[in-house]
Amino acid sequence: MSLEREQHRALREASQWYARLADEQVDSDAERAWRHWVAADEANQRAWQYIEAVSQRFDGLRDVGNSLPVGDTLKRLQRRRLTRRGSLKCIAVLGVTSAATWMFAPYEHWLAGERTAVGEVRQLSLMDGSRVWLNTDSSLDSDLAARRRQLSVHRGDVFVEAVAGKSPMTVTTAAAELSCERGRFALRGGGDAQAQVLAVYDGRVDLRTRGGQVQQLAAGQQCRFGHDAIVAVEAAEPRYEAWTRRLLLAHDEPLGELLSELSRYRHGIIHVSPDVAALRVTGSFPTSNTDMALEMLGASLPIRVDVPLPWWVNVSAA
């Protein structure tokens, strides 16, 4: 699991635990399960710290500590006897804030010359005639000096349409360096050194990982790679190009994975019930209107899509 997905998973589960622990009917079994969840993973601990810190902004939660839940956090939550409605209000704002602050983006992302907001897809025209698209919540810097054409991707996804020039177009990420004389290719997960994808649609691209692995991809090929490894080459998937047209493509994909991807284009949290997460989905969905995408899924699958509060979507069995 990529770092970003792991952080999103931890924050989503921490929000659910917060709502459960704030319920008046919480029992000792729930408390033990919660403590086990926190102790199981460092990401869980950081997520809970974040939940506690943000919760202090709400009236009635002033006495919730901002340390790890090893003391009397649960007792203080229960003493306030929060209603479930009050808990969900907190979760709604947690969803808003998390989109802006939770992902622990590297400082290069915030200082980058080009950066997109959540839900934004932008096309850039470079001085050499090449074009670059940035997907939602992505960033890069460009260096187009006379003897070099280089893009440094700090976070997210990019699609590059490189024209022929005096030097190859190079793209660097946390995991590798790509080089292309001319061509069209997509790079997914620029900020994740362990789970990136390169898909080539025209021309050839040379890939060299930071660990020294080398692979050349021709048009119609893609591979997954990390800092030290390149996974077997396979056919390039259309979805890595489709996002430039504001489309999210799914081909026999689990609903849970599709909604995880859709959540990248909107603020807040999409919670998927386990009993529907494995439903298979095929189709094309607009990322420019995620509410419409959710409506389309609700109309074609045996699911119910509820939005009890802004920034919180619940998907369950119909």
pLDDT digits (tens, 9 = 90+) for 130-175: 999 999 999 999 887 656 789 999 999 999 999 998 889 999 998 9
pLDDT tens by residue, 54-87: 555 443 433 433 444 444 455 555 554 444 444 4
Q: Does residue 129 contact residue 163 with C-beta atoms inside 8 Å?
A: yes
Q: Which domains does the chain have, with CATH numbers?
A: 3-101 (no CATH), 108-239 (2.60.120.1440), 246-317 (3.55.50.30)
pLDDT at 30: 82
Residue 156 gets the label, from left (phi > 0), alpha (psi -120 to 50) or beta, of left
CB-count exposure of residue 234 (10 Å: 0-12, 13-18, 19+): exposed
Six-digit token pair at 119?
């839900």
Q: How much is the mean pLDDT over the chain? A: 81
pLDDT bin (cut points 50, 70, 90) of residue 103 is very low
CB-count exposure of residue 70 (10 Å: 0-12, 13-18, 19+): exposed
Q: Does residue 248 contact residue 287 with C-beta atoms inside 8 Å?
A: yes
pLDDT bin (cut points 50, 70, 90) of residue 17 is confident
pLDDT tens by residue, 217-238: 999 999 999 999 999 899 999 9
Between CA 235 and CA 220 the distance in angstroms is 6
Residue 120, amino acid: E
Q: Which residue has the higher pLDDT, 91 or 44?
A: 44
Q: Which of 47, 2, 15 is nearest to 257 (CA)?
A: 2
Six-digit token pair at 294?
């959710």
pLDDT at 162: 95
In the 3-class helix/strand/coil scheme, how is 212-230 assigned residue by residue?
A: CCEEEEECCEEEEECCCCE
Between CA 110 and CA 138 the distance in angstroms is 10
Between CA 2 and CA 197 the distance in angstroms is 12
CB-count exposure of residue 129 (10 Å: 0-12, 13-18, 19+): exposed
pLDDT bin (cut points 50, 70, 90) of residue 246 is very high
Between CA 135 and CA 138 the distance in angstroms is 6
pLDDT bin (cut points 50, 70, 90) of residue 104 is very low
pLDDT at 147: 65
Residue 249 gets the label, from left (phi > 0), alpha (psi -120 to 50) or beta, of beta
